[in-house]
Amino acid sequence: MNQKFNDVEALIRLFEQSNWREISVEAEGLSVVLSKDPNTPYRISNQRGAIDAAPRAVTPASTAAMTPSPAPPLAPSEAVPAGWVAVRAPNLGTFYRAPKPGAAPYVEVGQTITADTEICLIEVMKLFTPVKAGIAGRIARICVEDGRMVEYDAPLFYIEPVA
């Protein structure tokens, strides 16, 4: 649980520094909703049920009071062709397709890459983690929009391996 607490703290700091109005993250039985709108309702859940509370903004102090809840069932996702390999997020953070604002993206759909090709960055609290493809092939699908928050292990790209 200590790692989850550290992740929540990092998420709160990232949210406070962003221009986002609201974010909701669910991972490994923990659900966190952060909002800069004081009228946003919040919900605290655990195995015994849920408590709906009066509207208010979720702050670092109130977020710490949230308890882990069972992970919701996964929504059916778009079918992925057999043989495609997912490149997954190495950590929670913001997904960037380019090395800096205004620069060309690292990769595009259809581009042939090597296992060592850097394909994106994940940023959390000004720490940028480069992500390499890990497999040679062709970029088949980009799963995340630039500048979006991603959870640990979320698919970022699908690669069609080279035969």
Q: Tokens 């090709």 sit at which residue?
A: 117
Contact of 107 with 117, CB cutoff 8 Å? yes
CA dist 75 and 87 (Å) reads: 20
Question: CATH number of the domain at 85-161, out of 3.40.710.10, 2.40.50.100, 2.30.40.10, 3.40.50.1820?
Answer: 2.40.50.100
Q: How confident is the model at residue 58 (pLDDT cuts 50, 70, 90)?
A: very low
- pTM of this prediction? 0.54
Percent with pLDDT over 70 in the chain:
67
Domain ranges of the chain: 2-64, 85-161
162 backbone dihedrals φ, ψ, rounded to 5°:
-80, 135
In the three-class reduction of DSSP (H, G, I as helix; E, B as strand; rest coil), residue 72 is classed as coil
Q: Which residues of 124-141 are buried (b: 16+ CB within 10 A; e: fewer)?
A: beeeeeebebebebbbbb
pLDDT digits (tens, 9 = 90+) for 77-128: 568 888 999 999 999 999 999 999 999 999 999 999 999 999 999 998 888 9
